[in-house]
Chain A
């Protein structure tokens, strides 16, 4: 009953975002871009809030073959800055601002935040494994070459070999930052500024 009531509350409550001016200061979008973003957001979520289930549903639609719900959960946590269980427009747009208009440092910080599931500042192997599994889950079963069950674990090993400088089994942000900025291929790939709005 509580869950149901909470749901009711969620849909009954209409969340208004902060003012346009304030959002302009907090993000790097132009006014028109913010307007356009909000229109899309509002038409999808008239109540102004996205709960996790809806988020999972939306994200899963992009990956019809696999199961994107786990990764969507991690994403949701990463975006939900104030940890209140629902994404409001601020969370959404601030996150997007970092991802699209932020500096490389900021983007890497965001990615680190994503991997760090319990947000304690360290990425452990278990966390990484979970993330990796969720990413592989998104691919689905029908892949070429066929998905091995050990693939995520191997990938995690690779990752830790690259990232974990001092070999203490966890990856801190500094290590992460260092490695990512050094590796030219990933730096080049970080040219995802091509992902335009």
Chain B
């Protein structure tokens, strides 16, 4: 029920008293309103802008987010308001919908953003009011077309590269010359020959020099053989091209019926017909006419020029306007020709011998050409002649802008399509760069991790500082995620540094060394606040080595100094493993402390086996599984595949380079 009408419901129910006295049966009991509340104001905080409304206003539409209990999810206890992290501008329209029952679509708003907001608040776009519905629909259609265009062009360009038969490749090459070099060459060659053919046709008729006779010959007859050879060559090329296209066409029947193929046929037919009936004098006249058709070869250029195609398409689409133009012109011509004929009938030696003869005068006058070969001599004739020329301007000027605007629209549409394609390419390139950037970052941090571990061996702390760059929490969490994936699949991302791969082998060997020591170190460090120097003393904490889940309960302190493990490591010889502890601190300096952090992500796939994987390098994340603490230490970079999780005895502390 519409919002406004709901407000009248109590009134309608009250008015039902009018039925009571006439009712034959007793009325049913009215539904009681449970929890009848006084109407209260509720505050909706949308990105800082506060809107207030009555609760009942929102409850008018109980199947939307704001009208149902779904909004309780957004209730902020501290401020006693409903907080939505959305666009406040669009929210204005949405709230007005509750108030007035009409949903409006603001023109300045982007259609997809608006749609998203509507979807979020659970409002169907179909209820947009009539005043704004047209606009909304238009914009939506435009957007859909744009997306479709993009998809289409994407599909076209990607193409299904494999599994294209030879025929299909050829057809693609014909249609789109940019697909391969051969196609491009073919394209230019045919273009060249079309030009040559057209030029020869033109030059043939130019008089070039006199023969020692008295006639001046056109070049065509003087150098007949040369021109004939040229013509033959061109026709050969055109024929071959036509046959190839015919062969490659996916639908031969459709191809034969298409305009371009008809033009092709018309362009080469005269030659063959001429070959067939060379010396027959009777039809030589007809033969000469046929040569006229050679000029159609110029239309073959439309395959090469987009503008020509657009012009042709425009004329086709403006057929009705053109028809109107022609019709109105014809009407005017007939009228004026008749008038002029009868006006000039009287004058002697007038050129206006018949109405059809006057047509010529009318046309020349209406198009303001005015050759002057037919001129009215009587006064009446002159008067009507002037009216004719004035009206001619009007009649011709009217349909022309329509045609022009059509052409402009289609042309711009085409431009826009090209622009969109270019933009799309640029956008894809940017996305690709971003993607490679992020994967590079991942690999980089991985490398950093490995290098850190390498540096651990060498024990130079300054370089350590240098290597571990600070990574943001988000980045580290992302890397942790990638690392988890690696762990899950048992694969790992490629680290392209050969030096590091050497390291990995050493680390492998060291994997099982000093586990106990490490374990104990883990435990002790996990329970204590480490001073700068840490002694690898054994402690009796054993809880650490239990299952991953138990780790959750460890709240450890941050080991501030990453040099500590270094020192510790140095104290244990071949150890390339870094003791990492589970730490809880919110303020995490990733660069240094990361070295001290333990990553439990190996735990996730291995939870059951109660293994502990400690990360060698930065990225301390205890896995996201551990519920405590919002700010996990940054996740570690991925490990190279030294993480061997096969040894399943509990209490094994595995060290992997992350």
| B462 adjacent to chain A (CB < 8 Å) | no
Contact B22 A131 (CB under 8 A): yes
What are the residues of chain A within 8 A of B12 when measuring CB–CB? 59, 62
CB atoms of B17 and A197 under 8 A apart: no
**Taking A194-B30, A195-B30 as contacts, is the C-beta distance between A186 and B100 under 8 angstroms?**
no
- Are the C-beta atoms of B21 and A111 separated by less than 8 Å? yes
Q: Mark A116-157, 1 if CB is under 8 A from B, else 0.
A: 000000000000100110010000000000000000000100
CB distance from A68 to the nearest CB of B (A): 9
Residue of B nearest to A41 (CB): B7
| Chain A binder among B32-40, B311-319, B526-534, B631-639 | B32-40
Q: Is B23 an interface residue (CB 8 A)?
A: yes
Decide if B22 touches A195 in the complex (CB within 8 Å).
Answer: no
Whether B26 pairs with A61 at a CB distance below 8 angstroms is: no
Report the interface size for chain A: residues with CB under 8 A from the other chain: 46
- State in angstroms the CA–CA spacing of A167 and B16 once bound together: 27
Say yes or no: A194-B7 contact (C-beta < 8 A), given A43-B100, A180-B21, A189-B27: no
Q: Which of A169-197 contact B (CB under 8 A)?
A: 176, 180, 185-186, 188-192, 194-197
Complex Cα distance, B18 from A132, in Å, reads 11
Interchain CB contact under 8 A, A195 and B10? yes
Bound-state Cα–Cα, A40 to B17, Å = 21
B1, B5, B16, B25, most chain A CB atoms within 10 A: B5
Whether B14 pairs with A186 at a CB distance below 8 angstroms is no
* Chain B residue at minimal CB-CB distance from A193: B30
Distance A192 CA – B23 CA, assembled complex (angstroms): 14
User: Within the complex, what minimum Cβ distance (angstroms) separates A18 from chain B?
Assistant: 19
Does A32 lie within 8 Å of B99, measured CB to CB? Answer: no
User: Measured between C-beta atoms, what is the minimum distance from B430 to chain A in Å?
Assistant: 49
Identify the closest chain A residue to B13 (Cβ): A195
**Contact between chains at A195 and B14 (CB < 8 Å):** yes
Checking A43, A92, A159, A191 against B22 with a beta-carbon cut-off of 8 angstroms, the contacting residue is: A159
B58, chain A: closest CB distance, angstroms: 14
Assess whether A36 is in contact with B11, with CB atoms less than 8 Å apart: no
- CB of B20 within 8 Å of the partner chain: yes
Q: For chain A, what secondary structure do more than half of its interface residues adopt (helix, strand, loop), or is it mixed?
A: helix
- Select A192's contact among B8, B24, B30, B33, beta carbons within 8 Å: B30
Q: Once the chains bind, are A62 and B33 in contact (CB under 8 Å)?
A: no
* Pair count A-B, CB < 8 A: 101
B1:A61 contact, CB within 8 angstroms: yes
B9 touches A62 (CB 8 A): yes
**Shortest beta-carbon distance from A114 to chain B in Å:** 5
B286, CB-defined interface residue at 8 Å: no
Are A111 and B26 in contact (CB-based, < 8 A)?
Answer: no
What residues of chain B lie closer than 8 Å to A110, measured between beta carbons?
17
A49 proximal to B (CB < 8 A)? no
Please, how many angstroms separate the alpha-carbon atoms of A96 and B19 in the complex?
16
Least CB distance, B587 to chain A, in whole angstroms: 52
Q: On chain B, which size bracket covers the interface? A: 35 or more
- Flag if A58 contacts B26 (CB, 8 Å): no
> Cα distance A191–B16 when bound, in Å?
12
Q: A111: shortest Cβ distance to chain B, in Å? A: 5
Chain A residues, CB < 8 A from B9 = 62
Contact A111 B1 (CB under 8 A): no
Is A81 engaged at the interface, CB distance under 8 Å to the other chain? Answer: no
User: Cβ of A86 < 8 Å from any Cβ of B?
Assistant: no
A95-109 vs B, Cβ < 8 Å mask (1 yes, 0 no): 110011000000110
Within 8 A of A (CB), among B501-529: none
CB proximity of A93 to chain B, nearest CB, Å: 10
Any A CB within 8 A of the CB of B494: no
B23 partner residues in chain A, CB cutoff 8 A:
186, 189
- Does B2 lie at the interface of the complex (its beta carbon under 8 Å from any beta carbon of A)? yes
Question: Counting CB contacts under 8 A, is B356 at the interface?
Answer: no
Name which residue of chain A comes closest to B9, CB basis. Answer: A62
- Residue among B5, B9, B16, B17 with most chain A CB within 10 A: B17
B4 contacts chain A at the CB level, 8 A cutoff:
yes
Known contacts A192-B27, A196-B33; decide if A44 and B4 are in contact (CB<8 Å). yes
Q: Which residue of chain A has the shortest Cβ distance to B29 in the bound complex?
A: A194
CA distance A139 to B425 in the complex (A): 64
Q: Mark A7-47, 1 if CB is under 8 A from B, else 0.
A: 00000000000000000000000001000100111011000
Rounded to whole Å, the gap between the CB of A136 and the closest CB of chain B is 11
Which residues does chain B contribute within 8 Å of A62, judged by CB atoms? Answer: 5, 8-9, 12
In addition to A44-B8, A135-B22, A188-B26, 12 A-B residue pairs with Cβ atoms within 8 Å of each other are A32-B39, A110-B17, A111-B21, A131-B18, A155-B24, A186-B26, A190-B20, A192-B30, A194-B29, A194-B30, A195-B14, A195-B16
A-B contact pairs, 18 of them (CB 8 A): A41-B7, A43-B7, A44-B8, A62-B8, A62-B9, A75-B15, A96-B14, A100-B10, A135-B19, A159-B21, A159-B22, A180-B21, A185-B25, A186-B20, A186-B23, A189-B23, A195-B14, A196-B33
* Top-10 shortest CB links A-B: A194-B30, A40-B7, A99-B14, A189-B27, A195-B13, A61-B5, A189-B26, A44-B4, A114-B18, A185-B26
A contacts, CB < 8 Å to B: 32, 36, 39-41, 43-44, 58-59, 61-62, 71, 74-75, 78, 92, 95-96, 99-100, 107-108, 110-111, 114-115, 128, 131-132, 135, 155, 158-159, 176, 180, 185-186, 188-192, 194-197
